[in-house]
Amino acid sequence: MELIILPLAGALISWLGKSLNRQVSFLFSIATLALNLYWLSVFIPDGTLQFEQNVPWMNEGIRVHTGIDGMGMLLLLLANLLTPIILLSRWSMNQEQNRLMLPLILLMQSALNGVFTSMNGLLFYVFWELALIPIYFISAKWGSDNRIRITLKFFLYTFFGSVFMLASLLFLYWKTPGTHSFEWASLVAVELTEAEAWWVGAGLLIAFLIKIPVFPFHTWQADTYTAAPAAGSMLLSGIMLKMGFFGLFRWYLPLVPEVIQSQMSWVGLLAVVGVIYGGFIALRQNDLKRLVAYSSFSHVGLIAAGIATLTINGFQGAAIQMFNHGINIVALFFAISIIEQRMGSRSMTQLRGLAASSRVFAILFMVAVLGTVAVPLTNGFPGELLLLQAVFASNAVYGILAGLTIILCAAYMLRMYQFSMFGDAAEHQPAFQALVPSEWLGMGILASLILVFGIFPQPILDLTHASMTQLLEIIQERIALR
Amino acid sequence: MKALIIIFIGAIVLLFAGLGKSERRLTPLVWLILTLSLLINIMDYNGWELPWEAQWVSMLQFDKFSLAFNTLLIFLGLMGSLLFVPKKEDTGADIYALMLFSLCGGLIMTSFNSFFMLFLGLEILSIPLYVLAGSRKEDLRSNEAALKYYLMGSFATGILLFGVAMVYGTTGSFDMAEIGLRYTGAAMLTGLTPMGKIGILMVLFGMLFKIAAAPFHFWAPDVYTGSPGRITAFMATVVKTAGIVAMFRIFSVSFTAAHEFWTPTLTVLAALTMVIGNLSALMQQSLKRMLAYSSVAHAGYLLLAILMHNSEASKALLLYMAGYGLAALVAFAMIHKMKTESGNESAASLNGWAKKYPLESFALLVSMLSMTGIPATAGFAGKYALFSTAFTAHTWLIVLALVLSAVSVAYYFRAIIAMYFRDSDETTAPVQTALSVRVALVLCTLLNIGIGIAPLLITSRI
């Protein structure tokens, strides 16, 4: 609850305040992170819900009920870790824009923390929708050409998905006994017939698959990531799409265990198709941001395929990869934003030899690229390993196909790095200015996180292990009961 | 009752005051009358009853239900009078007096206990409106609006009256409860007579006309566009609220036993209204026309409350009308301001507003989000309450309504996009908005968000 209110207060103060607006925003985001880290230090990862708060809201069944379990804690940590860095990426930029953009980023953080802590269906829906407003404004106001059309498409797409989710939740709500309740535990306890569960599951699934996005619901994604300003792309890809995965874990799998086996086999197929499709498209991109967008599409496909296996390895791989994908993609977008700001271009064919001008940047960017490629000792490796192992174990063909992602990813990522960083500088190319402190601080933190979690992935796995096992138990118990 | 009398006397005083004094000074008097009646109405709600009031119960019944809605109606009237600064030629005392008379009709329509009073209330509400629609005498479109509204309106009233006569013929009474009893008896023992059925249908159609539901909505776009701004806002909020509440009273008290007969018809019409309203709004270039069609769409959602006609639905209805009323008033007021400044009604005239008018843009933003049904606004709370109440009984209708809500993003966001994301190419200096307008904007916006966060504020009132 405090994690929701703190950024919200920060957003209001920084919006109403006349000056010092980036300092105020940054301070509030750091305070939120500090609180989150403190909670992490007293958190016991045993699969229970901790830091619970529970007060009635509209009636007895519609409550403001928040709490944190292992998976929630992981995603909170991701959101609150990345927000200060995203704010840092705006530090040296247009202050006129920051007046409005920084409060919106904090508002987004508040809504995201709400999504990751809600234990009440309607509260979850409210935060889910609320998160859409700031990101829509950030992308539509400060994006590049065509932003208005593209972002409206994005908004409509995701909003369509979420109304089906609301319909499904409402259906479950009216099935709960007594005075009806949106509480997570009550919704989980509802028994549905096969046909009902199929429809309810489909409604929930469509909202989450659009958000992730899984093929063929991805058509909004590349355009939106490209058109949004750097901070918007980071928010979207780094944190917001994790809402989709979180939704699958918390609000889909335990709610309709009756049909997840059949529905998830379809999701697995679509996800693998997306992995390959995204990878091949990424190979042919010239725009750096578009390339990273498709690479992200390909990577999240693998995470979705891992969840679709319904095994503990798949779940754990998905959890750790959710976290690390967030860090990696934000590092990539950060680097691209640094390049774009200096060179005025994101086109691979126009960029040459940046490595010679700034060695620090070249190294930091390299770390981000290696993390994405999932080289051992970077953070991408353990997750990808677990995921591929899980996918392979459940379906060898999918496993082999999804394994292609490593080769494809190495190909397009290294191609990107090679084209933009090596070679001789083009003649009319402006000089590459050295990084300013806010930039190397932001990139430096991200790069060290990539290495730290590459060498010590175990803490992340420990954090989510208990809640993932418990989730799996709930599902299996319900399936066995029938 | 006391609030009704105060508004009525106030309107007469206003007429006479308009003879001598400079007419521009009359606006504060209107605010005074409405504020006073609002306060007294709230005291009434809290249980302040004078001895002579009890004897009216057979005709008008001021219970919690009607007093809660009356508070809303008077509040919307007050906000409407604050939000619109009329042009010089529109400041006649007669216009204000007519609006107050019309409001009196609205108050009767929430509290009638007999079909006789319903008809009186409806006429008191409508006849001033026919005049008001045409109050801009030199404007051809205003004349057209008045004529259209008058012809169609009196036709609809005729149908309603015919229906009332049929119901009287079936039951032998004008009294709501009495009619309810007779219909219950008929439904249980012998089944409804054809006359009883036709009576219900005709009353239904007459009322559907008033709230602009399909297929009786054709007047709405033209009348809304042609009428002066504040009259349009008045029609879209006060009149619509009064109409739907009257309908709710009729169908929950008198016709509830016959619900098996009218539910299928009403379900189809509700779906039709939602679809036509939303899809037509999507096509509009003029924002005022877009709002007109969107108010048709909202009428479709409101019919869900009639379909359910239980106490949960009445709570949802109050919440919905509060959210819709607040949002629609702000939206019509801001589009009125836009039109007076730029002379046209397309969304492009809003370009660059966020810079020029930060407060006004924010208010319009919140009202648009509220009408779309984005969480943390009253519009969401209302939509949620209404859709949730009707969900189990009319699942597919609700799914349709939800999908259409998503469609509505496409047209409501046009205004938001223009204000916030497009720059204006002209550089006319901003025209300062009057203080009263700004106060009302802030109040409406805060209330909208406040109700959105804590809807119990409203729903615990009935």
What is the rounded CA–CA span in Å between residue A324 and residue A201? 28
Is the omega angle on the peptide bond into residue B194 within 30 degrees of 0, that is, cis? no
pLDDT tens for B395-412 read 899 999 999 999 999 999
Please choose, from the candidates A84, A129, A320, the residue with its C-alpha nearest in 3D space to the C-alpha of residue A243: A129
- Burial status of residue B161 (CB atoms within 10 A of its CB: 0-12, 13-18, 19 or more): middle
Q: Touching check for A13 and chain B: CB below 8 Å?
A: no
pLDDT at B90 over 70: no
| H/E segment holding residue A389 | helix A380-394
Residues 6+ apart with CB under 8 A from B310: B252, B389
pLDDT of residue A427: 64
Q: How many CB atoms lie within 10 A of CB B73?
A: 27
Average pLDDT taken over every residue of chain A: 88
Q: Find the farthest-apart pair of alpha carbons in chain B and give their distance in angstroms, rounded.
A: 73
pLDDT of residue B88: 66
3-state secondary structure at position A256? coil
pLDDT at A350 over 80: no
Q: Give how far A361 is from chain B: nearest CA, Å.
A: 34
A132 CB neighbours in chain B (<8 A) are 374
A130 CB neighbours in chain B (<8 A) are 374-376
pLDDT tens for B416-450 read 988 888 887 777 778 888 888 999 999 999 999 99
Contact check, Cβ <8 Å, B421/A125: no
Helix axes A147-175, A194-211, angle to 10 degrees: 150
The beta-carbon neighbor of B375 closest among A126, A152, A173 is A126
What is the rounded CA–CA span in Å between residue A163 and residue A405? 33
Kindly report the pTM of this predicted structure.
0.93
pLDDT tens for B141-162 read 888 999 999 999 999 999 999 9
The beta-carbon neighbor of A152 closest among B387, B413, B420 is B413
Half-sphere CA count of B43, side-chain side, radius 13 A: 12
In chain A, residues 143-202 whose CB comes closer than 8 Å to chain B: 147-148, 152, 155-156, 159-160, 163-164, 166-167, 170-171, 173-174
Contact check, Cβ <8 Å, A171/B391: yes
- The alpha carbon of B84 is separated from its chain's Cα centroid by a whole number of angstroms, namely 17
Q: Touching check for B393 and chain A: CB below 8 Å?
A: no
The values of phi and psi at residue B17, to 5°, are: -60, -30
3-state secondary structure at position B84? coil
Q: Touching check for B417 and chain A: CB below 8 Å?
A: yes
Contact check, Cβ <8 Å, B403/A160: yes
pLDDT tens for A80-98 read 999 999 888 888 777 777 7
Contact check, Cβ <8 Å, B406/A173: no
Assigned token pair, B408: 């509505």
Helix axes A288-308, A260-283, angle to 10 degrees: 160
Give whole-number Cα distances, B63 to A197, B69, B308, in Å. 44, 10, 20
Contact check, Cβ <8 Å, A170/B406: no
Nearest CA in chain B to A159: B406
What is the rounded CA–CA span in Å between residue A29 and residue B400? 40
The values of phi and psi at residue B6, to 5°, are: -60, -45
Half-sphere CA count of A396, side-chain side, radius 13 A: 0
Nearest CA in chain B to A144: B421
Beta-sheet strands, E only, within B148-257: none
Q: Give how far A127 is from chain B: nearest CA, Å.
A: 8
Assigned token pair, B280: 């037509």
pLDDT at A18 over 80: no
- Dihedral of CA atoms B239, B245, B247, B248 in degrees, nearest 10, equals 160
Contact check, Cβ <8 Å, B395/A171: yes
Helix axes B378-390, B395-421, angle to 10 degrees: 170
Which sign does the torsion angle of CA B136, B137, B138, B140 carry? positive
Which sign does the torsion angle of CA A23, A28, A29, A30 carry? positive
A180 CB neighbours in chain B (<8 A) are none
B420 CB neighbours in chain A (<8 A) are 137, 140-141
Q: Give how far B296 is from chain A: nearest CA, Å.
A: 21
What is the rounded CA–CA span in Å between residue A54 and residue A66? 7
Assigned token pair, A200: 């309810």
Mean predicted confidence (pLDDT) in B191-202? 89
Question: Among B389, B402, B411, B457, which would you mutate to test the A interface (most chain A Cβ atoms within 10 Å of its Cβ)?
Answer: B402
3-state secondary structure at position A43? coil
Q: B289, B345 in Cβ contact below 8 A?
A: yes
Q: Touching check for B311 and chain A: CB below 8 Å?
A: no
Q: Touching check for B353 and chain A: CB below 8 Å?
A: no
Please choose, from the candidates B282, B281, B286, B288, the residue with its C-alpha nearest in 3D space to the C-alpha of residue B224: B288
pLDDT of residue B21: 61
User: What is the Cα Rg of chain A in Å?
Assistant: 21
- Burial status of residue B443 (CB atoms within 10 A of its CB: 0-12, 13-18, 19 or more): middle
Mean predicted confidence (pLDDT) in B287-304? 93
Average pLDDT taken over every residue of chain B: 89
User: What is the Cα Rg of chain B in Å?
Assistant: 21
B409 CB neighbours in chain A (<8 A) are 152, 155-156, 159
pLDDT tens for A245-300 read 999 999 998 888 888 888 888 999 999 999 999 989 988 888 888 999 999 999 99
Please choose, from the candidates A74, A43, A81, the residue with its C-alpha nearest in 3D space to the C-alpha of residue A448: A81
Q: Give how far B365 is from chain A: nearest CA, Å.
A: 11
- Burial status of residue B59 (CB atoms within 10 A of its CB: 0-12, 13-18, 19 or more): middle
